[in-house]
Structure 1
Amino acid sequence: MKDLHISIEKNGEQTKVGTIQGDGISDAVFRYDRAWLDREDAIPVSLSLPLQEEAFSSKKTKTFFEGLLPEGFTKRSVAKWMHADDQDYLTMLSGLGQECLGAIQVMEGNSKPPKARYTRMTEQQLREFAAEGAIKSAELVTALHLSLAGASGKTGLYFDADNQCWYLPEGTAPSTHIVKQSHVRFKDIVTNEQLCLTTAKNLGISVPSSFAVNTEDENLLFATPRYDRVLTEKHRVLDGLPVPLRLHQEDMAQALGIPAENKYEIVPSGYCEKICGLLRDFSSNPIRDILDFWNRIIFNDLIGNTDGHLKNFSFLYDENLAGLHLAPAYDIVSTTIYPGHTRTLSMYIGDSNAIDQIQRSDFIEGAGRSGIRSAVILRQLDTMAEHFEKAISQAADTLQEKGYKDAGTIKDRILETSGYKYL
């Protein structure tokens, strides 16, 4: 019988909130502990799993907790490393759950967590990670007991910015950065993502300060500071390094109780409307967050990002779990610059999800369904479209000065292929 203990970090301390128990994935259910329910400061681990005494169904349990795991090739590789079926999310979670996205920790029964420590990486190790592709990424996340949602080759590492050193976070030691391999995805993906993020920042969208890691060859790594990790003045010290606090987060698929395999809106299902409903009901600043969310929807169309699915939007909780808000934007790339890639957006805007067909009327319709006055959305659309070319040109110039030699070419491809030319 599976017996997984679920805890959540608050102000730097892990507290058990419940258990997942069952003979397998078909009957495993999550239930909150009585002690957690009795606390005045108790919160649900997910908006889709509200505080209640009764156990949740195996389907609801699986939808949220499987959403903590990697997807696609990385998931299959991790399952192979663990000698598990790639549908057995419980076994993978028990092996990877000591360091998840957000503040949740998963432990098998009453077992003690592995020792936390930071081990400095050599230049050779960084080069190997950059060069060896998604298999090496899967090997690392398994060895480090690390669970990162998503389908690309990536892992969590600790970066000592003062000394420009990278460390492997072992056991329950939290990482500070998500590091992606460049060549396991698309050509020039590092420059592409950095250009898109810099453009988004120029247009006032909150994004992490990502950067490329030069491994002295062409296999670049792309590092993004984790917005769900934060250093405070009262931080602990481990192996001479300050230990960040974990901040709870959940992506919109988890919050809505939608399985990861349905993260793309294939048929009209009101994903934008549903996200705005969550923001309106639960955000600490709903008006700001709803407008920020629509800015990102507009930006995805302008930049040609057809991969802006439910799992690429998240809630981020305060360190004391008292409030939540829309997390910074992440995983933004222009997919339309790659020949043959879909021109279908991941979420409908009004009645359309085709970049070549979306019109102002679709934004008006989408705004109305989300409970927003059309004039507000059209003003945001016009402002962003008006400043887009200047913002991306400035971003390309900045990156070229930093050594991203193909930034200008990618900028031109975006302007030629994205939704910008249709608005």
Structure 2
Amino acid sequence: MLDIARVPRDLLHVRLHGQRVAVLRRSRRTGLSLEYDETADLALRGMAVSTSLPPTQRVHRGPAVENFVDNLLPDDPRVRRRWGSTVGVTGADPFDLLVHFGRDVAGAAWFRGDGDDDSGSRTPLDEAAIAARIRRCRADATAWHDDSRAADGQFSLSGAQTKFSLALHDGRWFEASGSDPSTHLFKPTVHSVPDGEVVEFMTMRAAAGLGLPTAPVELLEFGDTHALVVERFDRVQAGPSAVRLHQEDMVQALGASRLYKYEVQGGPSIDSIIACLARGVQHPEEGTLRRFARVLVFSWIMLNTDAHAKNHAVFVDPDGLRLTPLYDASSAIPYLGPDGLDHDTVAERAARCTLAMRYGASARAGRIGGFEIGAIARRCGLRSTDLIAEARASCDALPRLVAEAAEHVPPRVRTSTVERFIRWMPLRARQADAALRRGA
């Protein structure tokens, strides 16, 4: 374990798939820099730590490096301060936090200092321990880590939603630490959205039912509580352990700041993501752009108002980019109003929903239709009529798929939110289908 009292360090080795590929340095004069290692293993030479930091340029400095590092950590400054306090770091500087929490982050990269322990460990957890962890997260939005364990070597995840990670091996749950990777994410609750974890489960199951590659999800009960459990797509089981796969979200890939993940804030747009995919995809015939277009259609129909650039991601391979499975997808449909709201008001509120990115000239759901979906199709190299036909088929299928997803919600958490989702999904689907017909 690290000695948290030692003088803060200013150099971290960046590893991919267990091999050093770069060095991350901090300088009081020039800030952060990332320098690729010319002696890296031949198989990994040319492998980008981030698409925004291409290895064709050996040294990178400035906002792109700072944004990449910052994007590996939670959004909530309270969580960062809490983590900092557990390791004796003041100010919650991203580099300082990565020194202690950089060995199990999103993707295959991990960060270590000179002399750091490369080992990993697993601590078995029973149902009662997991239930207690879930209850703590529900009571305290900053309780991502288990404070009863040594802080060093615990995971880091980005995003705003309270979560923690565990590893599943041979049907048993473990707390993974150090170089040993976690395999699943636990999302106990969305603190600002009642039943948000249940709605996310139903939305993700509906997406999978449409045939969209989607991170596998379950609503699992532990004692008297529950959590949404998501299988990590950046981990793959290999024998007795798991292997990390390198990936990054589109905010990282475009070198943007996590503070501007929504387009209305100046963040990435649909066009900028399409351009990044078009540049980086080496095998267009695999359908990456088509799949992205399908995800955009799904997000619009489902009123997924949180489908910003951090909720789209790519695998980063030596030979190019591949779109990851869908993740963090949810819906505003069950939150359009209280039980008993008349259908006209529900439809009006659905049309007023603002999405995370503009579809053409507007992000307002009611101003999007066949014309805008057709334009997205053309930008992705597809025929407009094909994508619109697929969108209409989705409108037809989604009410059934949402109802089927509800059948897998444990009875104890099948609340009025679930019933509104089932009841209002057909109304929203008819509204979207009409918009597709009008603008085609």
* TM category, shorter: 0.7 to 0.9
Q: Residue 356 of structure 2 aligns with which residue?
A: 346
8 Å contact kept, 1:304–1:334: yes
The 3-state SS of whatever aligns with 1:74 is helix
Q: Residue 200 of structure 2 aligns with which residue?
A: 193
**Which residue identity lines up with residue 329 of structure 2 in the other structure?**
I
Q: Residue 103 of structure 1 aligns with which residue?
A: 108
8 Å contact kept, 1:352–1:362: no
Q: Residue 169 of structure 1 aligns with which residue?
A: 176
Q: Which stretch shows the higher mean deviation, 148-157 or 339-348?
A: 339-348
Q: Residue 47 of structure 1 aligns with which residue?
A: 51
- Whether 2:403 is the aligned partner of 1:393: answer yes
Q: Residue 239 of structure 1 aligns with which residue?
A: none
8 Å contact kept, 1:74–1:152: no
Alignment of 1:125-164 (within 5 A): 125-133=129-137, 134-139=141-146, 142-160=151-169, 162-163=170-171
- Whether 2:19 is the aligned partner of 1:15: answer yes
- Alignment partners' CA distance in 2, 1:65 and 1:227: 21
Alignment of 1:55-74 (within 5 A): 55-72=59-76, 73-74=78-79
Per the TM alignment, residue 417 of structure 1 is displaced from its structure 2 partner at its CA by: 7.9
8 Å contact kept, 2:281–2:320: yes
The 3-state SS of whatever aligns with 2:164 is strand
Q: Residue 253 of structure 1 aligns with which residue?
A: 251
Assess, with a 3 A threshold, how the Cα gap between structure 1 residues 40 and 263 changes in structure 2: closer, same or farther.
Answer: closer
- Alignment partners' CA distance in 2, 1:34 and 1:23: 21
Normalising by the residue count of structure 1, what TM-score does the alignment of the two structures yield?
A: 0.86
- Alignment partners' CA distance in 1, 2:57 and 2:376: 37
- Alignment partners' CA distance in 2, 1:395 and 1:39: 43
Identity of aligned residues (%): 24
- Alignment partners' CA distance in 2, 1:311 and 1:113: 31
- Alignment partners' CA distance in 1, 2:405 and 2:164: 27
Assess, with a 3 A threshold, how the Cα gap between structure 1 residues 302 and 349 changes in structure 2: closer, same or farther.
Answer: same
The 3-state SS of whatever aligns with 1:148 is coil
- Whether 2:14 is the aligned partner of 1:6: answer yes
Tell me which of 347, 357, 361 is aligned to 2:367: 357
Runs of 4+ with >6 A deviation: 37-40, 267-270
The 3-state SS of whatever aligns with 2:408 is helix
Q: Residue 38 of structure 2 aligns with which residue?
A: 34
**Which residue identity lines up with residue 155 of structure 1 in the other structure?**
F
The 3-state SS of whatever aligns with 1:208 is coil
- Alignment partners' CA distance in 2, 1:136 and 1:39: 39
Superimposed CA distance per residue, residues 149-208 of structure 1 (whole angstroms, 9 cap, x where no aligned partner) = 111111110123x44x21110221111111111253522223211111111111111112
Assess, with a 3 A threshold, how the Cα gap between structure 1 residues 86 and 52 changes in structure 2: closer, same or farther.
Answer: farther
8 Å contact kept, 1:152–1:180: yes
Gaps of 5+ in 2: 1-8, 338-348, 434-440
- Alignment partners' CA distance in 1, 2:252 and 2:191: 26
The two structures, once aligned, show a CA RMSD in angstroms of 2.9
Per the TM alignment, residue 304 of structure 1 is displaced from its structure 2 partner at its CA by: 1.7
**Which residue identity lines up with residue 97 of structure 1 in the other structure?**
G
8 Å contact kept, 1:32–1:52: no
8 Å contact kept, 1:355–1:419: no
8 Å contact kept, 1:248–1:317: yes
Per the TM alignment, residue 418 of structure 1 is displaced from its structure 2 partner at its CA by: 5.1
Assess, with a 3 A threshold, how the Cα gap between structure 1 residues 270 and 222 changes in structure 2: closer, same or farther.
Answer: closer
Superimposed CA distance per residue, residues 1-29 of structure 1 (whole angstroms, 9 cap, x where no aligned partner) = 611111111xxxx1111112123496121
Normalising by the residue count of structure 2, what TM-score does the alignment of the two structures yield?
A: 0.83
Per the TM alignment, residue 76 of structure 1 is displaced from its structure 2 partner at its CA by: 4.0
Assess, with a 3 A threshold, how the Cα gap between structure 1 residues 329 and 296 changes in structure 2: closer, same or farther.
Answer: same
Q: Residue 215 of structure 1 aligns with which residue?
A: 222
Assess, with a 3 A threshold, how the Cα gap between structure 1 residues 42 and 283 changes in structure 2: closer, same or farther.
Answer: same
8 Å contact kept, 1:179–1:223: yes
- Alignment partners' CA distance in 1, 2:282 and 2:220: 35
Q: Residue 122 of structure 1 aligns with which residue?
A: 126
